[in-house]
Amino acid sequence: MKQVLILLWVILSFLLAQVVNSNEVHAMSTASFMGKKHILLLHAGGDSKRVPWANPMGKVFLPLPYLAAEDPDGPVPLLFDHILAISSCARQAFKNEGGIFIMTGDVLPCFDAFKMVLPDDSSCIITVPITLDIASNHGVVVASKTGVLDKNYSLTLVENLLQKPSMSELVENQAILHDGRSLLDTGIIAVRGKAWVELLMLAGTSHMMIADLLNSKKEMSLYEDLVAAWVPAKHEWLKLRPFGKDLINGLGNRTMFSYCAYDLSFLHFGTSSEVLDHLSGSNSPIVGRRHLCSIPATTVSDIAASSIILSSKIAPGVSIGEDSLVYDSSLSGGIQIGSQSIVVSVSIPSGSNNGPSRDSFRFLLPDRHCIWEVPLVGFTERVIIYCGLHDNPKSPVSKDGTFCGKPWRKVMLDLGIQENEIWVLPNIQENCLWNAKIFSILPYFGMLSLAMWMMGLTYHDGDFMLSMWRSSQRVSLEELHRLIDFPQLCSGSNDHQADLAAGIAKACVSYGLLGRNLAQLSEEILQKELSGVEVCKDILALCPSLKDQNSMVLPQSRAYQVQADLLWACGEERTACEMESKVWAAVADETASAVKYGFEDDLFEPPATELSSTYLDGCTNSQFCPRKAKVELPVRLDFVGGWSDTPPWSLERSGYVLNMAINLEGCLPVGTCIETTATAGVSIRDDAANQLFIADPTSISAPFDHEDPFRLVKSALLVSGIVRHKILSSSGINIKTWANVPRGSGLGTSSILAAAVMKGLLQIMGGDGNNGNVARLVLVLEQIMGTGGGWQDQIGGLYPGIKFTASVPGFSLRLQVIPLVVSPQLVSELEKRLILVFTGQVRLANQVLQKVVTRYLQRDNLLISSIKRLAELAKVGREALMNGDLDELGELMLEAWRLHQELDPYCSNEFVDKLFAFSDRFCSGYKLVGAGGGGFAMLLTKSADCAKELRNLLSKSPDFDVKIYDWNICLQ
């Protein structure tokens, strides 16, 4: 059946939430936009529902059943023709100047918005070269033969727009490119600058126009009408359309450009069969086949593994065939759905007083059929619509038109229906499925019975069925187009999803593994405005039982996070904040527990009350023995793998990081000097001239004030155990620290300084100061200090050279540091090609870390897939370096940088984007070090000559007030 089918929207809002290939996540999520200054959010439906396409947790409020039939007159009405894709990932394309990015039509595009070059002050339509046979069934853009031409794209002026042009029309309008293809109109429109301002002004003054449009039930297609306003060749056509002159007056002063993305790929969802082909074909590995659904055990149902069930409740006794799709439905026992079939918004109850009972009724949907339910204005019953998978509603009876997969003539002959009973009134169009008055409005089970009769499944009682059909009120797809009750459609879908989410959330909490995203489920539940909060409170009441769970199975931090999410959903903000503090305390405890194993039993315990008579080089308790430790360390540059080292990820999953230790400006930039003093107490001094004396070290306790400049050293004193060590019974210690690195550098300075202090304290105490022990202790220190953080920073500073580090989770956190033995030639080439630039932008990593850790504890699917990919990139990067391939390393840095922006949209900013855009032509790759948001940028150039040229340009450019640091790999 030729359709603009619901599956585009289903894929966008549900399947993307289950994508497991992070490359696809990036390609799809970056086909979106979030302007810095303005966002125009169109909505679908009668109420002010949002349409967050790029948010897998959201839903798309669109007339899904209606979209199962193609509108022969073109796109569907204004309010239902579009979704607005919003995400900060495409900020680069708009240069932070605001704009709108609209995605229409029946294709799912996959492209890299980071590479888009959009014109200023204009609208732009994204196109892609396509063969003429496909172009003739779609929209085609006629573009100027001159413009900006690049190997990856072209940017040219739009001269005309063609809709499903014939071959002669393509030739006549000069729409055929030199290679024999045409430019396919993808339905993706970007508007920025003055054109964006004019669009906002038009929107702000169009209240009357929109009201008239709704009251008159006229149609205005953004896909055609809005675009035509920017294309002068379409103005005469547009003047004849509803409010066309208003659009021309408001927008006609601007022109439209074609951005032809040569590397853009897309999936077309124009027909139902295409949808199923996509879901079962080469894309099937990235499809989540079960999402927001309730399915019984396999022993009481027959559900094919290849079927896709989304937002649905399946009762025991249901059978679903191979490669079928069930969406937004509730199927009771005894229902059989064939293979390659589509079921949308169908709710088959177990019985009805107005029809056959549950025990006497059994519904069957044959192979390759579609069925859905539609609420109509003025009717209490939802009308059941059905057809064959390959039926084309525009194919006339006189040609090859079909219904339920059979020619119309055979359908009428088998059922005893006359042609004039289906097409009652004379019609200027040819008789076809679109205008066939065939769908009866009856009590529910009566409609189901007629559906099976019409599909040819039952021939007994044919006379009774024919009589019931003839006596019933009937509608066509064309009439449905005008009668759909969209508010009811949306509210019914919302309530259905809320009920499903509530059931899943209750099971998740009751059975204790908490593997689902309760924050996301709570959002679904709260769609029920009247009862959603009460449902969340009922689920919250189940949470006390979680404390009985074994911490080896259910980490306490995860249990607290679930309770915090539910408290926020219930509106209990104060208690939620208190619970979030417990989350972080639990993460710290779990980290300490994983690190403690393998150390001495008294590492975190108070010392014995009796001190031995001698200690430290033979000194007695009453003697002062001077000792001194000086530790200087390099800072680290991280290539790929960050975030996988951070608790609680690294406590539960493997982590992999590729980084290297470097000297800055020819010296080791981070260090400490610790020495014992004859005077009791602890004296601390840093390189900013801050000083502190602590007379009683045992008075030090966490938590520390975030503004305390000495909280790092205080945390080290606690974690090392020196505050209760016997050495302080007869002496004090003096601690001096320094870090010759700009604040907020991203070079891991804080953790590396903590490692230096920890190593120095262990030396003073005569403890085990090997790098492995120190790295693990710093991991605990970061939690006590309140900054969080993982193990990669201290590993980067403690171990020289380039290294690949893996963490193995378990009862004890184990770190495996593998130095990379690279050639002197590669070291020299890397030092010549890698430019280290301090951006001057300062942002503290812990602000980012808290958001990322919270999303992990919430089991955010996109975050988990992104970090998995980052960890995988570390392995690939290791191989690239061992093979001496710095260009491949640069490509991995670029992918890592994009993944970092998926994890935290604010890890970049306008200045950084501008810096990278300026450097792009010289570089194989680039990224900010650490968590991003500012600090240092790594620019891996294509050659040593490129590095020299770029350094020179950056130093002279008035647009970049940056400092380029000299550096070298610290090899020992």
Per-residue model confidence as pLDDT tens digits over 751-778: 999 999 999 999 998 888 889 889 989 9
In terms of pLDDT, which residue wins out, 95 or 574? 574
Average pLDDT (53-60) is: 26
Q: Is 681 left (phi over 0), alpha (psi -120 to 50) or beta?
A: left
pLDDT at residue number 427: 62
CATH number of 3-268: 3.90.550.10
Tell the residue number behind the tokens 């059909």, with chain if given.
469
What is the helix (H) or strand (E) element at residue 816, kind and residue range? Answer: strand 814-819
Task: Give 162-198 pLDDT, tens digit per residue.
Answer: 988 989 999 999 999 989 999 988 888 888 888 888 8
At 481, the pLDDT band (50, 70, 90 cuts) reads confident
Average pLDDT (33-61) is: 26
Q: Please tell me what DSSP assigns to residue 77.
A: P
In terms of pLDDT, which residue wins out, 226 or 83? 226
Range of weakest confidence among 52-61, 109-118, 212-221? 52-61
pLDDT at residue number 511: 86
- E-assigned strands of 164-289? 182-192, 256-261, 265-268
SS3 885: coil
Greatest mean pLDDT among 454-463, 489-498, 718-727: 489-498
pLDDT at residue number 351: 53
pLDDT at residue number 32: 25
Q: Do the bridges between strand 342-344 and strand 325-327 make them parallel or antiparallel, or are there none, so unpaired?
A: parallel
What is the helix (H) or strand (E) element at residue 677, kind and residue range? Answer: strand 670-677
At 619, the pLDDT band (50, 70, 90 cuts) reads low
Query: Which residues, including other chains, have CB under 8 Å from residue 44's CB and lie 6 or more apart?
Result: 51, 60, 61, 62, 63, 79, 80, 82, 83, 486, 490
Contact 867, 849 (CB under 8 A): no
3-state SS track over 304-339: CCCCEEECCEECCCCEECCCCEEECCEECCCCEECC
Average pLDDT (888-910) is: 90
DSSP secondary structure of 496-522? HHHHHHHHHHHHHHHHS---S-HHHHH
Range of weakest confidence among 253-257, 459-463, 620-624, 779-783? 620-624
Q: Please list the residues that pair with 685 across neighbouring strands.
A: 691, 736
Range of weakest confidence among 9-13, 394-398, 576-580, 919-923? 9-13
pLDDT at residue number 113: 64
Model-level pTM? 0.78
Average pLDDT (684-705) is: 90
Query: Which residues, including other chains, have CB under 8 Å from residue 197's CB and lie 6 or more apart?
Result: none
Through-space distance between the first and last CA atoms of the chain, rounded to whole angstroms: 69
At 932, the pLDDT band (50, 70, 90 cuts) reads confident
- How far apart CA 537 and CA 529 sit, in angstroms, is 14
Report whether pLDDT(266) > 80. no
Amino acid (1-letter code) at residue 679? T
Report whether pLDDT(244) > 80. yes
- How far apart CA 473 and CA 464 sit, in angstroms, is 16
- How far apart CA 566 and CA 518 sit, in angstroms, is 7
At 27, the pLDDT band (50, 70, 90 cuts) reads very low
At 82, the pLDDT band (50, 70, 90 cuts) reads very low
- How far is the CA of 781 from the CAs of 560, 583, 628, 717, 819, in angstroms? 22, 17, 22, 9, 25
Report whether pLDDT(451) > 80. yes
Report whether pLDDT(490) > 80. yes
Contact 641, 656 (CB under 8 A): yes
Report whether pLDDT(576) > 70. yes
In terms of pLDDT, which residue wins out, 557 or 600? 557
- How far apart CA 949 and CA 191 sit, in angstroms, is 35
Torsion angle of C-alpha atoms 802, 808, 813, 818, degrees rounded to 10? -20
pLDDT at residue number 964: 94
Q: Do the bridges between strand 313-314 and strand 330-331 make them parallel or antiparallel, or are there none, so unpaired?
A: parallel
What is the helix (H) or strand (E) element at residue 202, kind and residue range? Answer: helix 194-204
Q: What percent of the chain stands above pLDDT 90?
A: 47
Task: Give 289-337 pLDDT, tens digit per residue.
Answer: 888 888 887 788 999 988 999 999 999 999 999 999 999 999 988 899 9
Range of weakest confidence among 14-28, 240-254, 346-360, 484-498? 14-28
Report whether pLDDT(557) > 50. yes
351's tokens: 């019985």
- How far is the CA of 344 from the CAs of 297, 348, 493, 869, 891, in angstroms? 22, 12, 11, 34, 42
- How far apart CA 268 and CA 292 sit, in angstroms, is 25
72's tokens: 């022969």
At 30, the pLDDT band (50, 70, 90 cuts) reads very low
Report whether pLDDT(621) > 70. no
- How far is the CA of 907 from the CAs of 89, 706, 748, in angstroms? 11, 22, 16
CB count, 10 Å around CB of 379? 14
Q: Do the bridges between strand 655-664 and strand 691-694 make them parallel or antiparallel, or are there none, so unpaired?
A: unpaired
What is the helix (H) or strand (E) element at residue 250, kind and residue range? Answer: helix 244-251
At 78, the pLDDT band (50, 70, 90 cuts) reads very low
pLDDT at residue number 449: 92
pLDDT at residue number 533: 95
What is the helix (H) or strand (E) element at residue 146, kind and residue range? Answer: strand 139-149
- How far apart CA 533 and CA 775 sit, in angstroms, is 45
Fold of 628-814: Ribosomal Protein S5; domain 2 (3.30.230)
CB count, 10 Å around CB of 446? 21
Report whether pLDDT(95) > 90. no
Report whether pLDDT(545) > 50. yes
At 283, the pLDDT band (50, 70, 90 cuts) reads low
Q: What is the mean pLDDT of the chain?
A: 81
Q: Is the peptide bond before 824 cis (omega within 30 degrees of 0)?
A: no
pLDDT at residue number 282: 64
Task: Give 841-878 pLDDT, tens digit per residue.
Answer: 876 666 678 888 999 999 998 899 999 999 999 999 99
Average pLDDT (653-667) is: 94
Contact 944, 829 (CB under 8 A): yes
Report whether pLDDT(924) > 60. yes
Half-sphere exposure in the Cβ direction for 147 (13 Å, CA): 20
pLDDT at residue number 187: 83
Fold of 824-969: Alpha-Beta Plaits (3.30.70)
Amino acid (1-letter code) at residue 17? A
- How far apart CA 425 and CA 431 sit, in angstroms, is 10
Among the listed residues 809, 88, 66, 39, the one whose alpha carbon sits nearest the alpha carbon of residue 484: 66
Task: Give 339-367 pLDDT, tens digit per residue.
Answer: 999 999 999 887 544 444 445 578 999 99
pLDDT at residue number 68: 27
Q: What percent of the chain stands above pLDDT 70?
A: 83
- How far apart CA 464 and CA 670 sit, in angstroms, is 90
At 1, the pLDDT band (50, 70, 90 cuts) reads very low
For residue 934, report the phi and psi dihedrals to the nearest 5 degrees.
Answer: 160, -155
- How far apart CA 28 and CA 508 sit, in angstroms, is 29
At 592, the pLDDT band (50, 70, 90 cuts) reads confident
Structural domain boundaries of the chain? 3-268, 272-351+360-471, 488-589, 628-814, 824-969
